[in-house]
């Protein structure tokens, strides 16, 4: 009995003893990039990352961390890469370090265009839409056309220019071009269609659209411009900017980052526009 009593006292003492949380110290830049990405996907507004001083030097305090992080593309999710990049309203990073301790700290802050609850509602809306469309056995072309039509038939262009997200497009049913492109991006990827979001100008104004891979070739597609605003509010569905080559995709100009030799080599647009079935 005495042994059991002493053991019980020791357990109480150990459990009640104050424990100070120890921050993890990251030892590679790849690990730092991954933990930043994880926090951004979780919509963390501010988080701190500790690393070896040498890792900070390898990253470089003037490097555009955000661009490096959002370039990580996990093919098992449609929530990262282009979607993550355009889902953030703003971000900033501050460095702290002491040469004596040989450690560095990055304090990262971010503001998001949506809340986690809104993202959950968006996930449910996408799942419901794809269940309704039933595209499991569809061809690439059938998938792209079905998603193109689904979004255009349910979304109206936001003439207040305040709604920019896929949540606004698929849940609130109204968005500017970003929301159309983001919604299409999520739905295309979730059905196995390779897709990117392109940012640039159209008719001289800021604009966003998509490129998609159909039957092994890349094409331009602009859901916003296939959903024109009418004077009487009538819903219109057209295919003027559906699976087009560069020549037929008129009045669109990409930003520089999407117009480099490297980008064009990775995503070469087909020489001919897709012939609709």
Tens digit of pLDDT for each residue in 20-67?
344 789 999 999 999 999 999 999 999 999 999 999 999 987 778 899
> How many Cβ atoms sit within 10 Å of the Cβ of residue 23?
10
Top mean pLDDT of 46-55, 99-108, 224-233 is at 46-55
Residue 240 CB-half CA count within 13 A? 11
Q: What domains sit in the chain, N to C, each tagged with a CATH number? A: 25-112 (3.30.110), 116-266 (3.10.620.30)
Residue predicted with more confidence, 23 or 13: 23
Instruction: Report, as an integer, the average pLDDT of 89-102.
Output: 86
Q: DSSP state, 226?
A: T
Q: What is the pLDDT of residue 232?
A: 67
Residue 244 CB-half CA count within 13 A? 18
Q: What is the pLDDT of residue 236?
A: 86
247 pLDDT more than 70: yes
Instruction: Report, as an integer, the average pLDDT of 130-143.
Output: 98
Q: What is the pLDDT of residue 20?
A: 39
Q: Distance (Å, rounded) from C-alpha 65 to C-alpha 126?
A: 30
Q: What is the pLDDT of residue 71?
A: 95
pLDDT band at 231 (very low <50, low <70, confident <90, very high): low
**Residue 174 in contact with residue 157, Cβ under 8 Å?**
yes
Q: What is the pLDDT of residue 260?
A: 98
16 pLDDT more than 50: no
3-class DSSP state for residue 134?
A: coil
Lowest mean pLDDT among 49-63, 118-132, 151-165: 49-63
pLDDT band at 133 (very low <50, low <70, confident <90, very high): very high
pLDDT band at 10 (very low <50, low <70, confident <90, very high): very low
pLDDT band at 14 (very low <50, low <70, confident <90, very high): very low
pTM comes to: 0.89
Partners of 47 in the beta sheet?
Answer: 108
Instruction: Report, as an integer, the average pLDDT of 268-277.
Output: 96
């Amino acid at each position: 009995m005495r042994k059991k009593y002493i053991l019980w006292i020791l357990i109480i003492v150990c459990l009640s003893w104050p424990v100070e949380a120890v921050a993890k110290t990251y030892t590679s830049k790849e690990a730092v990039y991954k933990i930043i990405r994880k926090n951004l996907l979780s919509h963390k507004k501010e988080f701190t990352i500790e690393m070896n001083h040498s890792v900070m030097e390898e990253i470089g305090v003037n490097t555009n961390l955000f661009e490096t992080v959002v370039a990580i593309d996990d093919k098992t999710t449609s929530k990262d890469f282009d979607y993550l990049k355009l889902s953030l309203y703003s971000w900033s990073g501050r460095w702290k370090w002491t040469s004596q301790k040989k450690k560095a700290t990055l304090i990262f802050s971010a503001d998001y265009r949506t809340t986690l609850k809104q993202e959950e509602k968006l996930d449910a809306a996408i799942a419901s839409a794809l269940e309704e469309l039933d595209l499991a056995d569809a061809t690439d072309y059938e998938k792209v056309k079905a998603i193109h039509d689904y979004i255009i038939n349910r979304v109206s262009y936001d003439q207040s220019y305040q709604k920019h997200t896929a949540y606004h497009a698929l849940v609130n049913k109204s968005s500017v071009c970003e929301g159309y492109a983001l919604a299409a991006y999520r739905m295309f990827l979730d059905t196995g269609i390779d897709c990117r979001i392109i940012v640039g100008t159209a008719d001289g104004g800021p604009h966003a659209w998509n490129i998609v891979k159909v039957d092994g070739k890349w094409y331009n597609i602009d859901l916003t411009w296939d959903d024109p605003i009418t004077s009487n509010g009538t819903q219109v569905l057209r295919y003027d900017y559906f699976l087009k080559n560069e020549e037929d995709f008129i009045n669109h100009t990409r930003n520089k980052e999407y117009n480099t030799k490297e980008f064009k080599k990775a995503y070469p647009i087909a020489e001919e526009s897709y012939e609709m079935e």
